[in-house]
Amino acid sequence: MESLRVLELYSGIGGMHYALKESGIHAEVVAAIDINTTANEIYTHNYPDTPLWNKTIEGITLEDFNKLSFDMILMSPPCQPFTRIGLQGDINDPRTKSFLYILDLLPRLCRLPRYILLENVKGFETSAARDRLVKTLTECGYTFQEVMVSPTSVGIPNSRLRYFLIAKISAENFSIQSSKILDAFPHPAEQPKVLSPSADTCQPEEEVQEGHVLYKLETKTDAQRKMSQNNDLSLRLIQDFLEPQIDMEPYLLPPKTLLRYALLLDIVRPTCRRSVCFTKGYGRYVEGTGSVMQGCVETEMESVFTGLDQCAEDEKLQRLLKLKLRYFTPREVANLMGFPQTFTFPKKTTTKQQYRVLGNSLNVVVVARLLQVLLS
């Protein structure tokens, strides 16, 4: 079989490239394009032979794209214009400009790529940018399928619900079947949701069992969801993704952080089957940026948190220190995001930079499964 020529836009640290390898598809990345200097250094470190263009997408001409003669586009456009916590500027956000430029160029390419895969955050599916994407694909003669999927659907204990679109030029007499997508993600946890054109992506809140003691600032629904995730045997244990031996010291949460944010932390143990999405602020900010690991599992969480808010600051800190709470290491975050052991960082990349680029990346295993569906 002839090798597919792949164009990787917004290439970051190479998550799409790794997914391509993981999928087993015979392909070559003919160009990767990104303007993030740190991400580009990491990409080149791992893929020294791939041509990497450090330039804005809008600065690349139609002629330049035509010369690449690619069969597939993989892309993960900037998500900030669509995030639920952002300003949701959508197509009016300057960061969407490059994506709109791609949509403008696509119909004018001398040869349309046969395949397209796009990843973005939850929220993109209801955006004007998505509407424009769908309109362009339809006019160009693509069949496509949209899906919301999380790594939990492939047994990885990490929630990272994302929007994906896979498209194929329909001259090949082909439609992408929802059943194939659902077969690719066998596990029930956060089962992929195939979107119909007017899909409402709101999930109903689960019923909450009575009697669950809440030690922290979490709702009963949160506690119930965490319990059911930990009881879901289709998900692997967190310990499968941990580094065997690490010096915990550099990753321990500082006393100031413990005192200020203890009740907001999402704490997991090695025997848990869940963790929350890691974002680019992990290691710097606490709330909503990712789970932390309980380093000392002998200490009972109940003994630490019961009545904690009534304790004096010194006692509060002594209690919390017993848990030995630490951040996941960048390598552990990469493991949960499906990056293989062959993926490494250049020596000069700081821990803060590593967390930042990982938080901006994607789950390799999920994308690999979608690529297999796209080409099946």
| Rounded CA separation 285/279 (Å) | 10
93, 81 contact by CB (below 8 A): yes
Q: Is 272 one of the annotated active-site residues of the chain?
A: no
CA nearest neighbour of 4 among 35, 31, 25:
25
Q: Which two three-digit tokens encode residue 13? A: 């640290």
Give the angle 139-197-115 at the CA atoms, nearest 5°.
50
Strand intervals (E) in 122-242: 142-149, 162-169, 193-195
The rounded Cα 220 to chain-centroid distance in angstroms is 26
Across the beta sheet with 267-268, what order do the strands follow? 267-268, 292-294, 325-327
User: What's the CA gap between 239 and 263, in Å, rounded?
Assistant: 24
* Distance in angstroms (rounded) separating the CA atoms of residues 32 and 44: 10
DSSP H or E run through 183: helix 178-184
Among residues 314, 259, 248, which one has the least CA distance to residue 286? 259
Catalytic residues, by residue number, are: 79
